A and B are shown apart, each in its own frame.
Chain A
């Protein structure tokens, strides 16, 4: 029997990432999209073109009462995640909540407690766990292929390209905005912690001077190594994760699905990327794919959540994993400093530091 599913938030994430894989699973009768929840009727209408049987709701409460979902996909801005997840659990639904899990560890805790109390699955959407090159790097590092770990450097930056329909994301954090740290940073930190284990932020600097950060630099410490993370919405970075070990170095392209090399500077060897994920709900996961596109990676993520519901498997990132990521973000913000910008004139550097939120 197909799993009754509702989509909460029918904007860019739903339309660009989830629509196609959901339609594929609906066609296979693995799930059925029975409700589309969004206060903007045009967003819901757009999604409804792919899910003829789905009803439009402007209220999640109403959708839960009338559509009785078994799975609720929460694809709304982060400030809404906690309240909507709690509502879904109150009505007995499982939840897949897009990253970041919430805006604070306190909210994460409430979400995890509600999941435990309702005995329902809480999965966090971290699509990069399903990028095959990322999975391969994790396997290699944890298998000791690089020798003793020494350091890592994560860089990701590109012009912001999401077709957002409101300026909400660009507001200061106190007004519900979420800058590059909560946008790309959650992906990066979740992945880095999955590879290197629990981390702490030794340093954190961003450029938010009255608004929300567009560029950040973090110094990170794990049990076995330390490293840096640099993110930007403002200018392109080299978009790589470099991991240095005692016997080899790995270079992962973080903007691609299948680009990973191992070696030493001057002698890197591209790796064959064959990490696959299940796309059926059979115990033996007979059908698997190597996802090489966003829709395929989302498909694998959705299937894994469905397998968690049907077969009791653990999702790639559960509520505890999502909370660990938010805890690291919070700890980083507690040691925040202005981002050094030595290319500015000295009086401009001083002005930027004065305007920085940590000095207000």
Chain B
């Protein structure tokens, strides 16, 4: 069976990709991580996962770590300043190691608020306020400029990756449980999301398909869903009625002190300095700062009353302003791909997971019943 090397395997997408491969009986799974602590997310699989240590920005070490793979998947996370560097290093390492396919995860954020309908081959925006989006766009542009014919590059451009283990979903769920969410323009914007299992299925297809599929592809769910519909789907078990959430105008961003600090931090050099300093702050001090920023803790699992006004996060405000669903038919046609998990089923699975996190109202655990069912 072909060997798939996953660079940045300890993150949320990497962990879920490994889970899918192992449970699907794939025997050639190699996790490439920067340090041993990143093994925690996939240590449950034991020897089914081969582990290699390598820094994603070091081409030579990476080439050793991915040697023998039929495809390399880049699901690294980290400071924006490292995104272009790691993309280049992984690309060069693939060529050095003779790996024939590089599956790179970009992001739909390179298209900003998608104010006009666009297709999969549209170039990224030249300017963006988010350092992360600028770095992802620059990586895409760099990959487009590469012409090597010994390495096939597949770029997947997922929207908001949501569902089980998704930090975004946890954030949405916590805000809904606290009843502190908000809806821009009543939630009429398009939720350009991709359920994690759908994204993982696309990554697997990109790794396993026969040659001749190089290109840039949007990655999203099949359905067109608005933010209001997304909140309504998850809100009930979280004790949140989206109809009672504050509505924010999408015409002009409502600046606040927090948003202003965020904006300053988004400036290129400031952002690079911020991430550099962060690595030198002792863990104890970081925890103390986090605790201070967190403010007073609500001991309620689900808040009793709704916030009268919203504290508006700039990224989420922009995400909710998206006007058009990114098309996903190019991937479907080229890979003969059918999205495996529908929106209602993805919602059901996500709520089941949120129940186990203590966020959603839940049913008691019945392991005996589960064992019986599994053994049957």
Contact = CB atoms under 8 A, between A and B. Distances in A.
Interface string B138-162: 0000000000000000000000000
A320 interface: no
Contacts of B35: 163-164
B367 A340 contact: yes
Nearest to A212: B43
Interface string A224-256: 000010100111111010100000000101001
A340 B36 contact: no
A275 B372 CA distance: 47
A208 to B, nearest CB: 5
Given A16-B283, A266-B304, A230 B46 contact: no
A253 B297 contact: yes
A214 B165 contact: no
A354 B374 CA distance: 8
Interface residues of A, number: 73
A205 B23 contact: no
B44 A353 contact: no
B368 interface: yes
A203 B43 contact: no
Contacts of B37: 160-164
A223 interface: no
A155 B362 CA distance: 14
A320 to B, nearest CB: 30
B170 interface: yes
A253 B301 CA distance: 12
Nearest to A261: B299
Contact of A219 (B40, B41, B49, B365): B365
A203 B367 contact: yes
Interface string B17-55: 001101111000000000111011111111111010000
A210 B352 contact: no
A256 B349 contact: no
A338 interface: yes
Interface size class of B (residues with CB under 8 A): 35 or more
B306 interface: no
Nearest to A239: B358
Contacts of A283: none
A246 B41 CA distance: 39
A62 interface: no
Interface string B353-374: 1001111000001111011001
B299 A268 contact: yes
A349 interface: yes
A293 B40 contact: no
Contacts of A207: 44
Contact of B357 (A172, A237, A242, A337): A237
B48 to A, nearest CB: 5
Contacts of B359: 238
A294 B350 contact: no
Contacts of A340: 365-367, 370
A289 interface: no
B374 A350 contact: yes
Nearest to B196: A343
Q: Which of B39, B41, B51, B283 has the most CB of A within 10 A?
A: B39
A212 B40 CA distance: 9
B284 interface: yes
A144 interface: no
A114 B93 CA distance: 55
B292 to A, nearest CB: 12
Contacts of B42: 211, 214
B41 A234 contact: yes
Given A159-B40, A238-B301, A343 B353 contact: yes
A338 B374 contact: yes
Contacts of A263: 299
B367 A214 contact: no
Contacts of A164: 35-37
18 contacts: A160-B40, A164-B37, A208-B46, A210-B46, A211-B43, A211-B45, A217-B365, A235-B170, A256-B291, A259-B297, A294-B284, A338-B374, A343-B163, A343-B164, A343-B349, A343-B350, A343-B353, A354-B374
Interface of B: 15, 19-20, 22-25, 35-37, 39-49, 51, 163-165, 170, 197, 283-284, 288, 291, 297, 299-301, 304, 340, 349-350, 352-353, 356-359, 365-368, 370-371, 374-375
